[in-house]
Amino acid sequence: MTRTDSFIVKSLHGRLDRVFIGGEWVKPQGQARSTVIDPSTEQPLTDMVLGDARDVADAVAAARRAFPTWSDRPVHERASLLDRIHSLILERAETFAQAISLEMGAAIAFARSTQVPVAAEHIRVARDNATIYPFLSQRGDLAIQREAIGVCGLITPWNWPLYQITAKVGPALAAGCTVVLKPSELSPLSALLFAELMHDAGVPPGVFNLVSGTGPEVGAALSAHPDVDMISITGSTRAGVLVAQAAAPTVKRVAQELGGKSPNVFLPDADLARAVPLGVAAGMRNVGQSCSAPTRMIVPRERLREVERLAAETAASFVVGDPSSAQTTHGPVANRAQFNRVQEMIATGIAEGARLVCGGPGRPDDLRCGFYCRPTVFSSVDAGMQIAQEEIFGPVLVVLPYDSIDEAVEIANCTVYGLGAHVQGKDIVAARAVAQRIRSGQVHINHPAWSPHAPFGGYKRSGNGREYGIEGLEEYLETKAILGFH
């Protein structure tokens, strides 16, 4: 069976030309079509019909009708529904993993071990937080009520297609909001499967709606719609700016999780044998297509050669190839535009005079087609170089040497981004001190386990607002003060 003949595509027959509005699969009013490309072969997988502004209006109207009843539902009932959603994701984990591997090239082992399980965690945490959150609290005769903000437009990217959906849908529904989801048209299969799951879980009509489409059409219409109370977008900084501009005339809340160029600071006492392989793996996880990937490794100058050797050995251990193979660690990047971007930035790094430690332009030697990139490490990189400043979104790591801790912190903070960061060091007091000086929304010390409770979001041009955990729930709540509440 070829990937084009995948059971995923066959199972979605009858859904690829529909949008999900008011609890039903309906034909969109939009007539534009989009081709879903298999990034491992560059061949078409299937076509789908895209919605337009008229479909957005229908979906928003359905969400608006559903909002009063849903927001009044007791918290335990909303939590019970989230529990059913969580259970169905786990039951259908293999189907979701296959879809993600197919639509954006994730290695099937990575899709199974990471893409799907962490997506399920967002639903579980939203359920748990809803049951303990103080939606009504008192300060003497003053009551503080936190209530659902209303209808929310959710715009999600292609790189973590299910994970980013659940990170938004889970807390939005837990808060009592109704939603209209616009997934990326480049990786739509897992989103359609999720809409099927929501129907099967018994989500009331209009509480969850999905309109596939492009950013300039569906994303812009959703952002500008006067009956949408909030927009949450995960995407590029450019896309975030456009959404904020479209949303501004209606003064709606806009939460943005945007680009990043995350630093990984190695203190002089860092355990290189452990930290360098973990750092390279983190920077190239999901083939480097993660906004928080620590793609800038900032190291003591006197340890530069040792870092280079360990980084090259780690990159050489990766198995780049067919994402459907269980032995593959890194599949292709997700689409042609991203492949071209990675190739351009590798050429830029060479032109800027950075030292190419491993990798380089083109595909790996044994791969003739597909959007495969060589895991690439540059060293002796200056902080002002383009490859040290711009988000590449591929398996490209830059190593920057420093001569003092103050210089290391300065390098860490010298981009327009501030999403994630890492610090490595045996002296935990020193590591904490550096972590507190880095201007980013999240800092990891010595590669701790990922936590779905840790708020995630950016400083500077990495966005505003937070996702995950309690803070992620609060993004979807308004604050009402009630005086004289005895």
- Residue 291 is among the residues annotated as catalytic for this protein: yes
Tens-place pLDDT, residues 37-64: 999 999 999 999 999 999 999 999 999 9
Tens-place pLDDT, residues 422-463: 999 999 999 999 999 999 999 999 999 999 999 999 999 999
Residue 68 falls inside a structural domain: yes
Residue 164 has pLDDT above 80, yes or no: yes
How many other CB atoms are there within 10 angstroms of residue 478's CB atom?
14
Residue 102 falls inside a structural domain: yes
> Does residue 271 sit in the same domain as residue 248?
no
Query: Mean per-residue pLDDT for 357-369?
Result: 97
Residue 456 falls inside a structural domain: no
> Does residue 270 sit in the same domain as residue 354?
yes
Q: What is the DSSP string of 158-199?
A: SSSHHHHHHHHHHHHHHHT-EEEEE--TTS-HHHHHHHHHHH
Tell how far CA 137 is from the center of its chain: 33
Structural tokens at position 71: 């927001």
Number of separate domains in the chain: 2
Q: What is the DSSP string of 119-158?
A: HHHHHHHHHHHHHH--SEEEETTEEEEEEE--EEEEE--S
Helix (H, G, I), strand (E, B) or coil at 285: helix
> Does residue 210 sit in the same domain as residue 337?
no
Tell me which of 152, 185, 217, 291 is the catalytic residue. Answer: 291
pLDDT number for residue 3: 56
CATH number reported for the structural domain that contains residue 12 in this entry: 3.40.605.10
The H or E element that residue 429 is part of is: helix 428-437
Tell how far CA 309 is from the center of its chain: 31
User: Among 5-9, 208-212, 310-314, 401-405, which stretch is predicted with the lowest mean pLDDT?
Assistant: 5-9
Query: Mean per-residue pLDDT for 104-122?
Result: 98
Tell me which of 121, 185, 257, 391 is the catalytic residue. Answer: 257
Query: Mean per-residue pLDDT for 116-132?
Result: 98
pLDDT number for residue 482: 97
Q: Say what percent of the chain tops pLDDT 70.
A: 99
Could you tell me the residue range of the domain that residue 174 belongs to?
Answer: 3-258+462-483
> Does residue 216 sit in the same domain as residue 361?
no
> Does residue 287 sit in the same domain as residue 347?
yes
Are the CB atoms for 51 and 212 separated by under 8 Å? yes
Query: Mean per-residue pLDDT for 275-290?
Result: 98
Q: How far apart are CA 126 and CA 128, in angstroms?
A: 6
Q: How far apart are CA 12 and CA 161, in angstroms?
A: 17
> Does residue 178 sit in the same domain as residue 324?
no
> Does residue 469 sit in the same domain as residue 435?
no
In this prediction, residue 486 has a pLDDT band, given cuts at 50, 70 and 90, of: confident
Are the CB atoms for 53 and 218 separated by under 8 Å? yes
In this prediction, residue 1 has a pLDDT band, given cuts at 50, 70 and 90, of: very low
pLDDT number for residue 5: 54
Task: Please state, in angstroms and as integers, the Cα–Cα distance from residue 378 to each residue in 157, 354, 409, following that order.
Answer: 28, 6, 20
**40-71 burial by CB neighbour count: b if 16+ within 10 A, else e?**
bbeeebbebbbbbbebbbbbbbbbbebbeebb
Residue 466 falls inside a structural domain: yes
> Does residue 152 sit in the same domain as residue 204?
yes
Residue 6 has pLDDT above 90, yes or no: no
Residue 229 falls inside a structural domain: yes
Residue 457 falls inside a structural domain: no
- Residue 257 is among the residues annotated as catalytic for this protein: yes
The H or E element that residue 47 is part of is: strand 43-49
Are the CB atoms for 24 and 205 separated by under 8 Å? yes
Tell how far CA 218 is from the center of its chain: 19
CATH number reported for the structural domain that contains residue 335 in this entry: 3.40.309.10
Q: What is the mean pLDDT of the chain?
A: 97
Residue for token digits 């040792």? 306
> Does residue 253 sit in the same domain as residue 275?
no
